[in-house]
Amino acid sequence: MTHQLKSAVIGCGHMDSLHAQAIRLSPHTTLVAVCDSERNRAESLARRFESRTYDDLSLLLQHELPDVVTVATPDHLHLDIVLKAIAAGCHVFCEKPLATELRDAQRMSDAAVQQGVWLSVNYNRRYSFGYRKAKELIGSGRIGEVKHAIISVTDRTPSPKVARKPTVILTTLLTHHIDLLRYFCGEVTSVHARFSDATPNGLLEHVILSFQLAGGAVATIVAGYRDDQSRTTERMEISGTRGSIVVEDVTRSVKLIALETDRVELFQPNHFVASDSFYATVTDHVQDFIEHIAEDREPLNSGREGVRGLKIAAAAVQSHREGKSVEV
Ligand SMILES: NC(=O)c1ccc[n+]([C@@H]2O[C@H](COP(=O)([O-])OP(=O)(O)OC[C@H]3O[C@@H](n4cnc5c(N)ncnc54)[C@H](O)[C@@H]3O)[C@@H](O)[C@H]2O)c1
């Protein structure tokens, strides 16, 4: 049996319309209201999606009694909004990272458990063409047992509004990639981090992270920021006892390289299908969350996953400070 749900979107910036679009496309819910502290932003989104407008979350919760709230405010503002929505009995889908501090993410996850609602964090890469295909190939044994993985990522330097700590790259960007390692290779048991020197803007912009994983695999993430880069670029290579898989740029292509290394199979998304685009991963994730709530099932990427990602990020900061590996 499914329930018909009422949903609201909080934070009407860049990500908002993806959340609103997902809600509009879901057969299980209706978008009743949107909220932004800058009212004109909420009004503009509400006009496009025919919903009511608020600039105060408490009033929205009181008047609309939503079942589901999606949160797309800047990272450091997730905590108060998520706690308020949970206290009002809402299931919450929150943009990554769940919070900027581990202790705040833990409070959110604990609050959801106590209130008996679901909290989910947007690790949308799990819904992409590239990583879905890689999961399928690994699941069918095509590369044997996973032994190591390398992820390289670059992104645009974040604005000062987001970049509030020198090591912000670990939370606002790399929680996605730490999640991918856990998804493909198993639980992280220890991490070693080495950052480049701080740049004039105070950020530690480049980092190499080495991981050990519970099943015996090892992995590395190398990441960096560049001013004015138009969007994120990334590549994952995952190797096993019988071959390797390379995922280019999340959705661009997947290569399967067998033990006979000159034989390569190439998989590419259908470029005529918009549902294979990067941002469709966000709408797919929101819709999947809502479907799970409507069917009373635990959604993917629960608050616990969000907490775990931040715990590993915090261990990386400790490793950088102490100059040694840290067990997680
Ligand atoms: N999953 C992804 O691929 C992905 C990509 C980009 C951004 N994000 C995440 O999405 C979130 C939002 O990012 P963005 O780029 O859309 O930010 P943004 O700055 O464009 O938009 C944030 C909006 O929140 C509003 N806001 C601020 N405080 C508020 C409050 N107390 N109540 C209601 N509204 C408030 C702002 O006025 C603004 O309109 C961040 O957590 C970011 O890390 C995720």
Please write the tens of the pLDDT for every residue from 101-125.
Answer: 999 999 999 999 999 999 999 999 9
Pairing of strands 206-213, 188-195: antiparallel
Give the pLDDT score at 36.
Answer: 98
What are the two backbone dihedrals, phi and then psi, of residue 23, each rounded to the nearest 5 degrees? -65, -40
Clarify whether residues 119 and 173 are in a common domain. no
- Asked if residue 72 has its Cβ within 6 Å of ligand 1, the reply is yes
Evaluate: CB of 75 within 6 angstroms of ligand 1: yes
State if residue 294 touches ligand 1 by the CB under 6 angstroms criterion: no
* Gap from CA of 11 to ligand 1 centroid (Å): 6
Tell which residue, 138, 153, 179, has the closest CA to residue 312.
Answer: 179
Q: Is the CB of 120 under 6 A from ligand 1?
A: no
Write the residue with the smallest CA distance to atom 29 of ligand 1.
37
Same domain, residue pair 17 and 91: yes
Q: Tell me what pLDDT residue 2 has.
A: 74
Per-residue model confidence (pLDDT) at position 136: 98
Number of domains comprising the chain: 2
Nearest to 121 by CA among 160, 172, 48: 172
Contact indicator for 243, 257 with CB cutoff of 8 Å = yes
The predicted-structure confidence for 246-285, as pLDDT tens digits, reads as follows: 999 999 999 999 999 888 999 999 877 767 788 999 999 9
Q: Is the CB of 172 under 6 A from ligand 1?
A: yes
Quote the CA–CA distance of 26 and 30 in Å, as a whole number: 8
DSSP at 114:
H
Burial of 4 (0-12, 13-18, 19+ CB in 10 A): exposed
Report, in angstroms and rounded to the nearest whole number, the Rg of the chain calculated over CA atoms: 20
The answer to whether the CB of 17 is under 6 A from ligand 1 is no
Distance CA 171, CA 178 (A): 10
At 1 the pLDDT is 66
251 and 148 within one domain:
yes
Query: What are 222's two structure tokens?
Result: 């190398």
On whether the CB atoms of residues 283 and 22 are closer than 8 A, the answer is yes
Closest of 207, 148, 206 to residue 181, by C-alpha: 148
134 and 97 fall within a common domain: no
pTM, full prediction: 0.96
Query: CATH code at 102?
Result: 3.40.50.720
Domain annotation covers residue 305: no
Indicate whether 198 and 323 sit together in one domain. Answer: yes
Q: Does 13 sit in the ligand 1 pocket, CB within 6 Å? A: yes
Say yes or no: 268 and 323 in one domain.
yes
Would you say 107 and 320 are in contact if contact means Cβ atoms under 8 Å apart? no
> Which pair of structure tokens corresponds to residue 34?
């949107």
Ligand 1 atom closest to residue 56's alpha carbon, by position in its atom list: 32
Domain containing 83 equals 5-124+281-300
CATH number of the domain that residue 182 is part of? 3.30.360.10
Burial of 151 (0-12, 13-18, 19+ CB in 10 A): buried
Q: Is 34:55 a contact under the CB 8 Å cutoff?
A: no
Positions of the chain with pLDDT lower than 50, given as ranges: none
Instruction: Compute, in angstroms, the gap from residue 72 CA to the centroid of ligand 1.
Output: 4
Compute the distance between CA of residue 152 and CA of residue 301 in angstroms, rounded to an integer. Answer: 23
